[in-house]
């Protein structure tokens, strides 16, 4: 199987779907002439032309609204945000229009649209460009939220998102675009709402998603040297969430650690904690541990940023806490 970059997997997913369906188009800042801020749309302008790969003004509210409106006339747009931090400028369009069109029209209109771009920290980008928004959008009925962690999942899930008849938030990371992974050349999709057990284990369940899951892999490698077996679940889709995958794993390992790159108050880990405690409490041999960023805006200093972000040492500490407490 060939090995390609995350950005190439994203580009392939969009291009393949656009070849199959002329109602699909891509719009966003620098997606056309510049081949995308992170080169995730490289070559697409040459292939599909300026009517289907559209550079927009710096007006997230404007082009989000145009794209949402176009779904009512039979189109299936993909909207790229240079970062989801900028989606806040157009969040009214996403929350109050895209997420509610189906219900408010009594089912007369679908809103088949994908909003995609990077989320969370990407190094020294400071407080207003380093925020994780998965839990924000997942809080909204009507939206589906996907956060892949590798090229294979990114391509398969993005193709499913583009084909979905409801609005999908597809969240990436600046720090993953260069990641390489095996991706088949043939057609494939991955169903939305299905988690993946990336590593089987027996002593503790670690649930994570997105780029921060790499810290779980590093921790599991270290813990294996101490004969501690970690089962790692990649959520892939935050909403709808695969509760069964988590619950079945916890019933096997009896311990749970959740790793998420987000502030600690009211996040995805909090929801998982509630679901497990309400449905599998009797299987738990220790309180659930959740690992998040510090409860502050992201710092610019690399020394402080290292302390702010979750890391493998945090995971190792939490695993040992649920094992030996």
The set of catalytic residues is 60, 129
DSSP code, position 309:
S
Q: How far is CA 323 from the centre of its chain?
A: 29
Strands 3-5 and 180-182: antiparallel
Q: Residues 222-249, buried b or exposed e (16+ Cβ, 10 A)? A: bbeeeebebbbbbbbbbbebbbebbbeb
Q: Can you tell me which residue has the tokens 């109602």?
A: 23
Listed in order, strand segments (DSSP E) in the chain are 3-5, 24-28, 53-55, 76-80, 114-118, 144-146, 168-172, 180-182, 196-199, 204-208, 230-234, 237-239, 256-259, 289-291
Q: Can you tell me the distance from the alpha carbon of 323 to that of 58, in angstroms, rounded to the nearest whole number?
A: 50
């Amino acid at each position: 199987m060939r090995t390609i970059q995350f950005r190439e997997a994203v580009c392939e997913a969009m291009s393949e779907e656009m070849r199959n369906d002329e109602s699909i188009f891509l719009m966003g800042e620098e997606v056309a002439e510049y081949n995308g801020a992170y080169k995730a749309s490289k070559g697409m302008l040459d292939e599909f032309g300026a009517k289907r790969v559209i550079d927009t003004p710096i007006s997230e509210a404007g082009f989000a609204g145009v794209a949402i409106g176009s779904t009512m006339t039979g189109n299936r747009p993909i909207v790229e945000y240079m970062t989801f931090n900028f989606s806040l400028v157009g969040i009214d369009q996403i929350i109050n229009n895209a997420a509610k069109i189906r219900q408010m029209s009594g089912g007369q209109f679908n809103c088949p649209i994908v909003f995609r771009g990077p989320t969370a920290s990407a190094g020294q980008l400071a407080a207003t460009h380093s925020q994780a928004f998965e839990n924000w959008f997942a809080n909204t009925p009507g939206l589906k939220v996907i956060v892949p962690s590798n090229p294979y999942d990114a391509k398969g899930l993005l193709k499913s998102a583009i084909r979905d008849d409801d609005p999908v938030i597809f969240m990436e990371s600046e720090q993953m675009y260069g990641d390489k992974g095996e991706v088949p050349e043939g057609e494939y999709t991955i169903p939305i709402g299905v988690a993946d057990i990336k590593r089987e284990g027996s002593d503790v369940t670690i649930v994570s998603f997105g780029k921060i899951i790499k810290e779980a892999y590093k921790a599991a490698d270290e813990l294996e040297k101490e004969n501690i077996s970690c089962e790692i679940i990649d959520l892939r889709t935050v909403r709808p969430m695969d509760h069964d995958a988590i619950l079945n794993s916890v019933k096997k390992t009896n311990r749970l650690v959740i790793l998420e790159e987000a502030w600690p108050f009211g996040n995805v880990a909090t929801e998982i904690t509630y679901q497990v405690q309400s449905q599998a409490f009797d299987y738990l041999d220790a309180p659930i541990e959740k690992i998040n960023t510090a409860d502050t805006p992201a710092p610019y200093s690399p020394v402080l940023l290292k302390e702010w972000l979750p890391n493998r040492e945090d995971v190792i500490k939490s695993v040992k806490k649920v094992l030996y407490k």
